[in-house]
Structure 1
């Protein structure tokens, strides 16, 4: 594994260190609903509205962050969005309740822009052949930070106050901006602005020339709706069958444990495999995870479901991020990353209402449908992998292919 990780440039390891620190202190998203209904005194419906609008901001930020980066530079956009998000979060304790309706979506929008810009920044500073490992490193440290963050946040909220959560999150985000400015040289992140020299084709034309990318984006959109059910309808399902919140906590902790243990080794071991079959297999595993619930509710079936989902996530998320970066034309790397980033979090907004409505109307139908949708998405990607690449386009790169020079 060590040999495979040597292909990851030093700048990515330094950037990942900043991501880790920022992830550790990004605990407000876990406690925001409790904060709104507790110290802020909002009703459940009002708190749901505020957090729902915030989720829309997060998705919108993911969809637009790469567009800004292609035009203004990914490093510059990452710094600006981190500064905006950090300042907004630190101001939360000072705002009146009405101000939270604007502040939370703004902070979430900035977070989405940071996520897309960070992916694009990795894509333009890492050559083909090492991107899977690079994205795996960033994802691994991010998951490690999110594993440590919630218990630390709980200690701060109960020992001090919720206000300190937002202050810590905001300062951590500002630290990430300063750290990125220090470790990522401006010259290494320079990009050719969108629509410059040579009359480059528009985004839709570029996507139509890459039908496998379109299939992949559609498959990820469908799968994310299914994947996010583990945080919405799944705990309700467990509660309806006699399992409590503690049981859900134990089960969901398996997700972080499996990813932390296996993601990096899997990325290195599979780096020479064609990407689309790996992604397709991952989506099939997500479908298999929900199929594991069909025999009935219990800790065993719930744990099996989470382990299968985690293995699927390991296969498809890092590989798909790198594949979209490898397929992007030079002038649109950020926009391709934004499209992927946007569809990969779409389930945050769409998953709870759709899953909740179906579970309320026909609870026995939800898990078979989830299994069918994710399985169908995986089959579609596997079919796309069998189609020959369009003439004049690069085939899906593998580690052994000659790397394109990193953007200078």
Structure 2
């Protein structure tokens, strides 16, 4: 992988480590701020919509203005907003928190787009696995650190620390990923215009369309572990300690196995790997049908974690590999948006179904995930090839797009020296 990915990783870790306000924001609003549960729910709901909107648009901005530049601007805006949020009156939170969440969402998709254009095709799975690994490490350590800050100092310092961490990420990125080259225009479409538009580009890549739909469905299912699953455990006599143990198991499995899995499976067709991962997510929720207890909860989380390892990184890399050169950021935004939609949709949909028919939730989750996995596997079995935007000519694997703003130079060493082996993408 290019050296810039390794250099970017410490900044990603610090940013994830300090991103603990999302865990405590509801408690902050109903506690120190004195809002009712309904008012806090309204603010966090609007903020969640802003977060998803930022995911859907951040990479697209990068295609127009440069991915590094957009990442820096979004990080500065989000960091500044979070730092000064505690000083705002409570009424102003309705107007300040959603834009801050929007900027945080834009950071996620812009960062994915930056990694996608830094890394040549054939090594993106390993690169995204590294970024996800350091990010998950930060998110694992962040909440306990946030709890210490909240109890030892105050909840206001949570936002200050989060904001400072985000600003530090911007500073680190500016230092280790310098903009080289005078061009400030993104890669142009082959016809000199905007290409075929989003829908046209997706129709030319039906496998990407199927994959995005499958990820949208599965993310709503995947997020049930943070909403209805703890309620389910409590309803069956398992306390919060058991839930904390099971969630910690999720982080441990991912941190231990994601990087080795990315290397071991790097030569496997990506859609087949993703399809199996989605099936494992369904099997995880299906395991809850075997009974209620610690053993089934652990089995569920192990299967869910293995499924996450298999589908998230290869899916991100596959979307980047299939994107036209002038819309890599847009494709990353589409993936980032659908892969985070469960943050907004998972709780309300799962909660409504669990309240109306609790016995139906887990069979439906298992069936939908199995259907999504089956659709991706069916797509992977269909003959197809990548096509150059606006042309029937196949693309040349491993070529680097014109970034407009050239963040880093690709390593010019032969593939056998770098360990990167660009190749055609199956499916």
Shift of 1:201: 2.1
Q: 1:384 aligns with which of 370, 379, 388?
A: 379
Counterpart for residue 11 of structure 2: 18
Q: 1:198 aligns with which of 192, 197, 200?
A: 192
Which of 337-346 and 99-108 deviates more? 99-108
Contact 2:117 2:400 survives alignment (8 Å): no
Counterpart for residue 255 of structure 2: 260
Q: How many residues align?
A: 395
Shift of 1:338: 0.3
Higher helix share: 1
Which of 96-105 and 311-320 deviates more? 96-105
Counterpart for residue 318 of structure 2: 323
In 2, the alpha carbon distance for the partners of 1:383 and 1:190 equals 41
In 1, the alpha carbon distance for the partners of 2:385 and 2:321 equals 15
2:290 aligns to what SS in structure 1? coil
Deviations 1:42-82 (A, max 9, x none): 11111111111111011000001111111111111000000
Shift of 1:17: 0.9
Unaligned runs of 5+ in 1: 1-7, 395-400
Counterpart for residue 281 of structure 2: 286
- 1:4-403 equivalences in 2 (<5 Å): 8-187=1-180, 192=186, 198-199=192-193, 200-389=195-384, 392=387, 402-403=397-398
Deviations 1:312-344 (A, max 9, x none): 000000000000000000000000000000000
Shift of 1:190: 6.4
CA separation of 1:197/1:209 partners in 2, compared to 1, >3 Å: closer, same or farther? closer
In 2, the alpha carbon distance for the partners of 1:217 and 1:383 equals 14
Deviations 1:160-180 (A, max 9, x none): 011111000000101111111
In 1, the alpha carbon distance for the partners of 2:46 and 2:196 equals 34
CA separation of 1:391/1:101 partners in 2, compared to 1, >3 Å: closer, same or farther? closer
Unaligned runs of 5+ in 2: 390-395, 407-427
CA separation of 1:332/1:391 partners in 2, compared to 1, >3 Å: closer, same or farther? closer
In 1, the alpha carbon distance for the partners of 2:167 and 2:248 equals 29
Which TM-score applies when normalising by structure 1?
0.94
CA separation of 1:49/1:278 partners in 2, compared to 1, >3 Å: closer, same or farther? same
In 2, the alpha carbon distance for the partners of 1:19 and 1:33 equals 25
Which TM-score applies when normalising by structure 2?
0.90
In 2, the alpha carbon distance for the partners of 1:390 and 1:123 equals 20
